């Protein structure tokens, strides 16, 4: 999508959330999300905490789950294994992750992604236990 089109979506308030991260902008169109919710369907977004804060403001009954790495050291190991980022970008991501992890308490749930299957099962349990009225029940972690 062109920068001009993205600017139009922002100006016309057509994005549920959007953010610029490391020089790249991304966002979630609001209309399809609202349509799915109106149909009684659950919607799962994979967004950063900045986007989650927007969702919290715009959809107050949303259930927010913070997917946390087991440690910053493990996150660094995973990112280095991917070998997709420059050293500078890696350092910026790790610094941002440290701040995000420290500020994750405002999410409804925090799931530690130590084992992908277990983390997925915990997320599925949270979604299954979230009632239709949007109020969150306690779910064992």
Domains defined along the chain, listed by start: 1-59 (3.30.63), 63-141 (3.40.50.300)
With beta carbons less than 8 A apart as the criterion, state whether 64 and 49 touch.
no
Taking the CA atoms of 64, 33, 43 and 79 in sequence, report the sign of the dihedral they define. Answer: negative
* pLDDT (tens digit per residue) in 53-106: 999 998 888 999 999 999 999 999 999 999 888 999 999 989 999 999 998 999
For residue 134, the model assigns a pLDDT of 45
């Amino acid at each position: 999508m062109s920068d001009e089109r993205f600017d139009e979506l922002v100006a016309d308030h057509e994005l549920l959330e959007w953010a610029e991260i490391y020089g790249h902008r991304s966002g979630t169109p609001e209309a399809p999300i609202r349509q799915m919710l109106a149909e009684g369907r659950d919607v799962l977004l994979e967004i950063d905490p900045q986007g989650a804060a927007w969702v919290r403001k715009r959809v107050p009954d949303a259930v927010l789950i913070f997917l946390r790495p087991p440690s910053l050291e493990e996150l660094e190991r995973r990112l280095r294994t991917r070998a997709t980022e420059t050293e500078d970008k890696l350092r910026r991501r790790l610094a941002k992750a440290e701040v995000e992890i420290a500020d994750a308490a405002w999410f409804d749930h925090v799931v530690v992604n130590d084992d992908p299957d277990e983390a997925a099962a915990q997320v599925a349990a949270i979604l299954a236990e979230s009632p239709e009225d949007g109020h969150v029940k306690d779910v064992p972690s």
